[in-house]
Amino acid sequence: MTSTVTPTSTAAAAPAGKSPAGPARSARKGRSSTIIVTGLLVVALYFLTPVYWVLVASTKSTEDLFSTNGFWFAPTFALWDNIAQVLSADDGIFIRWFLNSVLYAGVGALLATYFAAAGGYALAKYEFRGRNLVFGTILGGVLVPGTATALPLFLLFSQLGLANTYWSVLLPSLVSPFGLFLCRIYSQATVDTSLIEAARLDGASELRIFHTIGLRVLTPALVTVFLFQLVGIWNNYFLPLVMLSDTGLYPITLGLNTWLSQVDRLPEFYELTTGGVLLSIIPLSIAMVILQRFWRGGLTEGAVK
Amino acid sequence: MTTTSRAGQRPARQLPRTKARNNRTDGAARAPWMLLAPFLVLFVLTFILPIFVAVLSSFTKVTRSGLFGETGVESEFAGFSNYAQALGDGSFIASIGRMLLFGIIQVPVMIALCTVLALMLESASAKWPSFFRAAYFLPYGVPGVIATILWSFLYVPGLSPLFDIAALVGLTPDFLGANSVLWSIANIVTWSYTGYNMLIIVAQLKAIPGELYEAAKVDGASTFRVALSIQLPLIKPALVLTTVFSIIGTLQLFAEAEVLKTVAPAIDSQYTPNLSAYTTAFAYNDYNVAAAQAVLIALAAFTLSFAFLKFTNRKSS
Amino acid sequence: MGLLSGCATPGTRSVNASPVIAQAAAGEKVTLTYWTWLKDAQKVADIWNAAHPGVQVETVWIPGGNRGGYQKLYSALAAGGGPDLGQVEMRSLPEFMLVNGLVDLARYGAQDYSHLYDKTLWGQVSFTGGVYGIPQDSGPMATFYQPSVLDQVGGTAPGTWDEWAALAGELRRKDIYLDCFPLSDASVFAAFASQAGASWFRAEDDGWVINMTDDATMKAARFFDQAINDDLVQTSFRPYSPGWFAAAAKGTIASVVTASWGDALIKGVSGGEGKWRVAPMPTWAGSGFGSSYQGGSTAAVLANSKHPREALEFAVWMTSSREGIDAEISNSGIGWSPSPGFIGTPRQGPSDFFGGQRYNEEIFVPATQQQNTDWTWWPVTQQSFEILSDGFRKKASGTTLVDSIASAEQQIMAVFRNKGLSIRKETA
């Protein structure tokens, strides 16, 4: 049923060739350049404004937050107080949430990438019975929204006694059907069958071939899958919300929303929330800025090399 | 994992060639399954079984006797009654309609925006492309919940400086009103994912062979012409991919509405299909109807994505 | 596959049919957990902990009620876990009972403590011969207002709802709203209807009897329909939302008719010190009651508790001892004391914030005597309020409150039947 998907997306990787330097740089500059740069700047303003706002807001006391202009700093600079509060609130629970997020996203993405690579490689490089059935089923998984399985998964994990444990968030994070799908495309395009044959003649085992040749050739795709899964888990909200009731197990998304939901009754939580938001987006923003270079080739690099 | 070591078949090296070959084919037959095993086990546990559980419990019904069910509670086969109840629930249907409307407007707008941005960034006249790329991509690293918290501060009268700016030009915007809040959510989603989708398209643009541009230059084609007749057709696969993911994303919409609910009275507890299923399960304690809703959401996502893929496939052939 | 067949719908097994759990043996150390949305609840528990080395209580903060706390409690219950004690509003007790989430405390001797509590409140935790929670606080209602704002039109706190409407009209000319009407939270309207004398549900031996379209409810609905049509109330935000705090500080919101626990929230209005006073709630001239209630919660023992007896003892200490009540007020700013004889030391005497007014003794003590005692909570309260609120939200597009109440009544009856509960419309 889903096999139709493959040609479309493999086509994504098809137009091969050396990465070009883009359209000739010598093209007309001047007016069109001004228009384009202005456009780019306006859009950048849009993307950066909320981040700028929270940067300003986190330097204010709750009182100033409501009484001074949101795009400029208040006379009293309360950033360090606010951050100290964020880090010390509830015995440093913020740090715990942060570490939980790192655990869920880091371990989850690492293992998910490895499993997806092994599976994708197997589906690309071996002919075996049931291959199409397996691949079709997994592709179906790409199309099923993660949130639709979260509720029944909760009921299932409840029966297994896994709900409200680290495992309840970690286990579902280890599966990336999309990652497997990418790895399969990439394996088809880049892993040279003659290399595999040569290794076989040397007597290397199949698993050894995968670990030495497969993984090495797949590395660029693995980076993409890893980043994709990392951000996916880091941003996930529904699954931990459904699974976890113990605040000590919360990832940062859930934790910050817990704080936000208290501002109604306890306005001082505004300081915690804005400070917490600032702290939580700093590492991710830095990561994004650095990692977007690796991402570039990402999804289509399969054929580019 | 213990089978792994057996697959090593180390002794094979010492065996005569023919035997080794046999062993190898044997190993080659088992190898794909061993490589697939960890993924498949987890896939079955976290995709197949839950779907099975959902289907099972969507066909179960709980009946009670007494004022609070204190004199008896029974589970029984329900036929399609939970589905009837889910589909008969005006709020749930409204939430699906709302997401369709959302998807029809937001997805094309976002895809158009990220395509234009990608073309602009890759055009010869763009300056500081890596700065812009980073700036646009940054929101993707901000989790939906946190993005919503951020924007909610900018939507709330009395807290947001946007109102002061709007007042300067004589506007009194209402970001959280009954008719506008859906588009305020659309803005958050667009803000979060445009940069990410843009990068996919940029990657595709970079894969276009340089000779094509050279040929166009020789023909004297304008930048616009190049975009229209060379770049757009060649990035179509990336557009299809991003559109499908956006459609699935739309049906998953949850965090944005859930978080914004605290400041926007117009958002009810069944504003999106997922919020509806969550509320039905954990606020109304109707796990069976919630399961039916989850199955319906999955079916809808599957059908829509599949229909879109079929549609684009047919158009291209 | 045995796993799947065992995958029964959560909440279909009753703990109250199992044998009573014995008190922990002497010397055995018991640790109880209490999930609550009260601020600094651990400080209250620490006082108990110091005196009871054998029974230690740990508190965990959860979001308030249906803002996420109940979802957590329900999902923990469904997962077969959860705390020993949970904070559950009076109105939500029947819903927790419906999923077999609560321990019947009468089986552990709760009746022995009934004399410590307000009779109305004890009535609200007692169902079908059992006791399902220990009253923790309640929310008698009154008007909090800013005299200086009302002064701008020469007004004072309104005594009746008609006077309230007239005053609101005056204030609108100065671009001030007297109060909000939260279309998204129908429980506030329910409090007004209850004050007018409505009683939406009644439990009979053969099932539930519903009547949401009685004269009292319709009177309140028509009144607020008119008030919204005339733009007398602010409907775009609700009390204690960020927009409300900003408006209250600027003086574009003059007052709020709310429960006693509103005092702690009003203290969060920036620069509000000395600007607020408290007056009795406006009345429906000639009928109904002097006050009403909003909120009010219990400490309930949850079904998966291993130590219900100890949990009960802690709950009673926290809510009825002078020590417990005072600690809950000073640390958590908890609502009205459930103990009829003791409102709490911090609440006696004049309040600086409210300009030296002794508002607790003068306004709220009498208010607790003037509430509608016939009002009964029902097992699908939250869903009913959501249905009502969804209807109310359509007010913006022209549907009247009167009409949405009538259609909500039909929908709520359907919800009862879908849950397998028997319900009929009040005849006569």
Distance of alpha carbon B58 from alpha carbon B36, whole angstroms: 31
Contacts of C122 (CB under 8 A, 6+ apart): C114, C135
- Per-residue pLDDT at B15: 42
Give contacts of C 232-261 with A, CB under 8 A.
240-242, 245-246, 249
Q: Which residue of B has its CA nearest to C74?
A: B282
Contact of A265 with chain C, judged by CB distance below 8 Å, is answered with yes
Distance of alpha carbon A13 from alpha carbon C319, whole angstroms: 68
CA distances from A5 to A12, A232, B240, B241 (A): 11, 22, 10, 10
Contact of C2 with chain A, judged by CB distance below 8 Å, is answered with no
B68 contacts in C (CB within 8 Å)?
94, 97-98, 127-128, 379
* Residue C382 contacts residue C95 (beta carbons within 8 Å): yes
For C122-135, how does the pLDDT look when each residue is reduced to its tens digit (9 = 90+)? Answer: 988 998 889 999 99
> What is the DSSP-derived secondary structure letter of residue B111?
H
Inter-chain contact C75–A67, Cβ cutoff 8 Å?
no
A219-243: average pLDDT: 87
CA distance B196 to chain A (A): 9
Mutation site for A-interface testing, chosen from C4, C7, C258, C263 by largest number of A Cβ within 10 Å: C7
Q: Is the pLDDT of residue C302 over 90?
A: yes
Q: Is the pLDDT of residue A10 over 80?
A: no
Inter-chain contact A8–B312, Cβ cutoff 8 Å?
yes
- CATH superfamily ID and name for C2-138+297-351: Periplasmic binding protein-like II (3.40.190.10)
CA distances from C124 to C119, C130, C260, C374, C376 (A): 9, 11, 18, 10, 7
Find the helix packing angle between A31-57 and A269-297, rounded to 10°. Answer: 140
Spans of all domains in chain C: 2-138+297-351
A225-246: average pLDDT: 87
Q: Which residue of C has its CA nearest to B259?
A: C67
Q: Is residue A110 part of a domain?
A: yes
CA distance B51 to chain A (A): 6
Average per-residue pLDDT for chain A: 80
Strand partners, C255: C145
- Per-residue pLDDT at B164: 81
Q: Is the pLDDT of residue C403 over 50?
A: yes
Q: What is the dihedral of CA C362, C292, C374, C35, to 10 degrees?
A: -100
Range of the domain at A101: 92-261
- Per-residue pLDDT at A29: 55
CA distance B72 to chain A (A): 22
Q: C382: part of which helix (H) or strand (E)?
A: helix C381-393
Give pTM, 2 decimals.
Answer: 0.82
A261-290: average pLDDT: 79
Q: Is residue A6 part of a domain?
A: no
Inter-chain contact C9–B56, Cβ cutoff 8 Å?
no
- Per-residue pLDDT at C223: 97
Distance of alpha carbon C206 from alpha carbon C420, whole angstroms: 13
Q: Is residue A17 part of a domain?
A: no
Q: Is the pLDDT of residue A70 over 80?
A: no
Q: Is residue A55 part of a domain?
A: no
Q: Angle at CA C262, nearest 5°, toward C258 and C267?
A: 140
Contact of C7 with chain A, judged by CB distance below 8 Å, is answered with yes
C382 contacts in B (CB within 8 Å)?
283-284
Q: Which residue of A has its CA nearest to C33?
A: A246
Q: Is the pLDDT of residue A1 over 60?
A: no
Q: Which residue of C has its CA nearest to A257?
A: C63
Contact of A20 with chain B, judged by CB distance below 8 Å, is answered with yes
- Per-residue pLDDT at A19: 39
Q: Is the pLDDT of residue B229 over 90?
A: no
A43 contacts in B (CB within 8 Å)?
117, 132, 136
Q: Is residue A50 part of a domain?
A: no
CA distance C268 to chain A (A): 7
Q: Which residue of B has its CA nearest to A69?
A: B161
Contact of C99 with chain A, judged by CB distance below 8 Å, is answered with no
C260-285: average pLDDT: 91
Phi-psi region of C157 (alpha: psi -120 to 50; beta: other; left: phi over 0): beta
- Per-residue pLDDT at B315: 64
Inter-chain contact A261–C68, Cβ cutoff 8 Å?
yes
Q: Is the pLDDT of residue A229 over 50?
A: yes
Find the helix packing angle between B181-206 and B236-252, rounded to 10°. Answer: 150
More confident residue, B31 or C117: C117
Distance of alpha carbon A5 from alpha carbon C5, whole angstroms: 35
Average per-residue pLDDT for chain B: 82
Q: Which residue of A has its CA nearest to B46?
A: A172
The complex scores an ipTM of 0.80
Contact of C119 with chain A, judged by CB distance below 8 Å, is answered with no
- How would residue B23 be classed by pLDDT, with cut points 50, 70 and 90? low
CA distance C2 to chain A (A): 11
First-last CA distance in chain A: 31
Size (chain A), residues: 305
**Other Cβ atoms closer than 10 A to B70:** 20
B174 contacts in C (CB within 8 Å)?
236
Strand partners, B306: none
CA distances from B263 to B110, B142, B253, C71 (A): 25, 20, 17, 19
For C176-235, how does the pLDDT look when each residue is reduced to its tens digit (9 = 90+)? Answer: 999 999 988 899 999 999 999 999 999 888 889 999 999 999 999 999 999 999 999 998
Nearest CA among A162, A157, A178 for reference residue A109? A178
Q: Is the pLDDT of residue A12 over 70?
A: no
Contact of B164 with chain C, judged by CB distance below 8 Å, is answered with no
The lowest-confidence range among A10-19, A169-178, A245-254 is A10-19
Q: Is the pLDDT of residue A4 over 60?
A: no
The three state secondary structure string of B134-151 is HHHHHHHHCCHHHHHHHH
Inter-chain contact B282–C75, Cβ cutoff 8 Å?
yes
Q: Which of A1, A8, A298 has its CB closest to that of B313? A: A8
Q: Return the partners of chain B (3 or more C-beta pairs < 8 Å).
A: A, C
Q: Which of B34, B290, B302 has its CB closest to that of A207? A: B34
Distance of alpha carbon C116 from alpha carbon B218, whole angstroms: 95
Strand partners, C89: C297
For B48-81, how does the pLDDT look when each residue is reduced to its tens digit (9 = 90+)? Answer: 998 888 898 899 888 787 788 777 777 788 889 9
Q: Which residue of B has its CA nearest to C379?
A: B68
Nearest CA among B221, B239, B254 for reference residue B98? B254
- Per-residue pLDDT at B27: 64
CA distance A56 to chain C (A): 18
More confident residue, A183 or B73: A183
Q: B109: part of which helix (H) or strand (E)?
A: helix B90-122
CA distance B58 to chain A (A): 10
The lowest-confidence range among B203-212, C175-184, C251-260 is B203-212
- Per-residue pLDDT at B17: 46
- Per-residue pLDDT at A23: 47
Six-digit token pair at C394? 């359509």
Q: Which of C76, C265, C268 has its CB closest to that of A245? A: C76
Q: How many domains does chain A have?
A: 1
- How would residue B2 be classed by pLDDT, with cut points 50, 70 and 90? very low
- Per-residue pLDDT at B25: 59
Contact of B101 with chain C, judged by CB distance below 8 Å, is answered with no
Contact of B16 with chain C, judged by CB distance below 8 Å, is answered with no
Contact of A161 with chain C, judged by CB distance below 8 Å, is answered with yes
- How would residue C362 be classed by pLDDT, with cut points 50, 70 and 90? very high
- How would residue A292 be classed by pLDDT, with cut points 50, 70 and 90? low
Q: Is the pLDDT of residue B253 over 70?
A: yes
Inter-chain contact A163–C64, Cβ cutoff 8 Å?
no
Q: Is residue A130 part of a domain?
A: yes
Q: Is residue A97 part of a domain?
A: yes
Q: Which of B30, B34, B146 has its CB closest to that of A256? A: B146
Q: Is the pLDDT of residue B10 over 50?
A: no
Q: Which residue of C has its CA nearest to B84?
A: C418
Q: How many CB pairs under 8 A join A and C?
A: 68
Give contacts of B 260-299 with C, CB under 8 A.
262-263, 265-266, 268-270, 278-279, 282-289
For A28-58, how does the pLDDT look when each residue is reduced to its tens digit (9 = 90+)? Answer: 556 777 888 888 999 999 999 888 888 888 8
Q: Which of C79, C268, C270 has its CB closest to that of A163? A: C79
C102-131: average pLDDT: 92
Nearest CA among C139, C147, C138, C171 for reference residue C278? C147
Q: Return the partners of chain A (3 or more C-beta pairs < 8 Å).
A: B, C
Inter-chain contact A149–B297, Cβ cutoff 8 Å?
no
How would you classify the pairing of strands C277-280 and B72-77?
unpaired
* Residue A147 contacts residue B300 (beta carbons within 8 Å): no
Distance of alpha carbon C91 from alpha carbon A167, whole angstroms: 35
The lowest-confidence range among A102-106, B138-142, C276-280, C360-364 is B138-142
**Other Cβ atoms closer than 10 A to C173:** 9
Distance of alpha carbon B291 from alpha carbon B288, whole angstroms: 5
Mutation site for A-interface testing, chosen from B19, B22, B39, B313 by largest number of A Cβ within 10 Å: B39
- Per-residue pLDDT at B317: 53
More confident residue, A264 or C243: C243
Q: How many CB pairs under 8 A join A and B?
A: 370
Q: Angle at CA C128, nearest 5°, toward C126 and C129?
A: 70
Contact of C126 with chain B, judged by CB distance below 8 Å, is answered with no
Q: Is the pLDDT of residue C256 over 50?
A: yes
A249 contacts in C (CB within 8 Å)?
none
> What is the DSSP-derived secondary structure letter of residue C32?
E
Contacts of B126 (CB under 8 A, 6+ apart): A33, A36, A37, A40, B120, B132
| Maximum Cα interatomic distance, chain A, rounded to a whole number of Å | 76
Q: Is the pLDDT of residue B316 over 70?
A: no
Q: Is residue A64 part of a domain?
A: no
- Per-residue pLDDT at B76: 81
